[in-house]
Amino acid sequence: MLTLSIYEKEASVPIIGLYAPEDLGTATQRPAAPVRPEIDPPQRMGTLPTPSLEWTPEVERNTAHLYARVKHVISPVEWPLMAPLVKAINELKRERDAVILAHNYQTPEIFHCVADIVGDSLQLAIEASRVKAGTIVQCGVHFMAETSKILNPEKTVLIPDSRAGCSLASSITGADVRLLRQRFPGVPVVAYVNTSADVKAEVDICCTSSNAVEVVESLGAPTVIFLPDQYLARYVASKTSVKIIAWKGACEVHERFTGDELRAYREADPSVQIIAHPECPPDVLAEADFTGSTAHMIKWVRDRHPKRLVMITECSMADNLRAELPDVEMVQPCNLCPHMKRITLPKILESLLSLREEVTVDPAIAARARRSVERMINLRN
């Protein structure tokens, strides 16, 4: 008999089951944290020399148009430390035939000054499938780089720090999905893209927070297993008549927000607008004026132009929006994703110089995972 203790305690939340490794007997079989690969000599042979990183009048001139984009969030004292790296990275991208894909949670100097393509998980997956350059540098977390590799098996995909993980992706394994399928024969499985390639290979279709409801309903099934984010699952369940069986994963950044915190913002200023990401717990979403993926939140702010705004999501996204819309006053609860913050300008430079760290996915797993990701992308197009 499975334990549904959490579900029983939160019976008001419309999911019909909540499973964890303990329920499947896999709690003691979790994979160890990924090991960072050693630099091996053949890869180092492709290494280019480090360019000058001095702050000179030429660097100042060359990067002035980029500083204009971030001047509201990066001080004139900080910029001379960043600008030489920005210039070197932008030159190396051309030399290496590389593009930089950056998630909305990357810091402003990455997001506004070196990225070629920015977006939420869905936009990045779609753009990854269209990239022409031979090399992709993924400024985001490991599952995003894996998704790019799955969609571009013939390209070189680099991540500046392969330790950039995700609490959701590490909460579930391919073996867990196979056991869930045995428990619920015939019930289709939807995986949030915040999962490893191994998990994507075992499911019917992927989704992101931009399209989760649409993906669940596209299956035409009365019940769907939705994993691994229990809060996104609850949000989806509240928006559809499809019955949802969830997994007990959570985003370590969004699960920290509380409804009390949001009520306090509103009591302090009743005119403030509050927008939240659906990875937050239900009591947080109940207090928000709008719930959406990072791309939907950005669009909401651009369209509405609120006077005062609280963004209930990773902190750098508010910085990136403040750079673009300085007249919107942001109240910024600064919850940072430690994984996203592993990606820095010096590491991006090193990645382009040494062509590391290369992301690889077993071709057999990649082929099965690609079906799940492409099925999601094709829903849109």
Q: Which residues contact ligand SF4 by CB under 6 A?
A: 141, 166-168, 194, 251-253, 279, 314, 337, 339-340
How far apart, in Å, are the Cα atoms of 352 and each of 54, 112, 229, 288, 300?
19, 18, 33, 41, 35
Measured from the CB of residue 166, what is the shortest distance to ligand SF4 in angstroms? 3
Measured from the CB of residue 198, what is the shortest distance to ligand SF4 in angstroms? 17
Q: What angle do CA 26, 27, 32 make, to 5 degrees?
A: 100
Q: Got the DSSP string for 24-82?
A: HT-GGGPPPPPPPPPPPHHHHTTPPPPPP----HHHHHHHHHHHHHHTTTS-TTTHHHH
Stretch that binds ligand 13P, among 6-14, 42-50, 208-216, 228-236 (CB under 6 A): 208-216
Measured from the CB of residue 231, what is the shortest distance to ligand SF4 in angstroms? 10
* Partner whose binding site includes residue 104, from ligand SF4, ligand 13P, none (CB under 5 to 8 Å by kind): ligand 13P
Measured from the CB of residue 229, what is the shortest distance to ligand SF4 in angstroms? 8
Measured from the CB of residue 338, what is the shortest distance to ligand SF4 in angstroms? 8
* Partner whose binding site includes residue 252, from ligand 13P, ligand SF4, none (CB under 5 to 8 Å by kind): ligand SF4
* Partner whose binding site includes residue 167, from ligand 13P, ligand SF4, none (CB under 5 to 8 Å by kind): ligand SF4
Whichever of 92 and 315 has its CB closer to ligand 13P, that residue is: 315
* Partner whose binding site includes residue 339, from ligand SF4, ligand 13P, none (CB under 5 to 8 Å by kind): ligand SF4
Phi, psi of 55 (to 5 degrees): -85, 110
By CB under 6 A, the residues from 88 to 107 that bind ligand 13P are 104
Q: What angle do CA 189, 196, 1 make, to 5 degrees?
A: 45
Measured from the CB of residue 302, what is the shortest distance to ligand 13P in angstroms? 16
d(C-alpha 147, C-alpha 337), whole Å: 19
Residue 121 is a binding residue for ligand 13P (CB under 6 A): yes
Residue 230 is a binding residue for ligand 13P (CB under 6 A): no
Whichever of 152 and 171 has its CB closer to ligand SF4, that residue is: 171
d(C-alpha 311, C-alpha 316), whole Å: 10
Residue 316 is a binding residue for ligand 13P (CB under 6 A): no
Q: Under rule CB under 6 A, how many of the chain's residues touch ligand 13P?
A: 12
Closest CA to 201 of 143, 243, 251: 143
* Partner whose binding site includes residue 291, from ligand SF4, ligand 13P, none (CB under 5 to 8 Å by kind): none
Q: What angle do CA 203, 126, 196 make, to 5 degrees?
A: 35
Helix (H, G, I), strand (E, B) or coil at 92: helix
Whichever of 63 and 294 has its CB closer to ligand 13P, that residue is: 294
d(C-alpha 218, C-alpha 200), whole Å: 18
Measured from the CB of residue 126, what is the shortest distance to ligand 13P in angstroms? 12
Contact status, residue 255 vs residue 280, Cβ threshold 8 Å: yes
- Looking at residue 47, its amino acid is T
245's enclosing H/E stretch is: strand 243-247
Sites of contact with ligand 13P (CB under 6 A) = 104, 120-122, 194, 208-210, 251, 279, 293-294
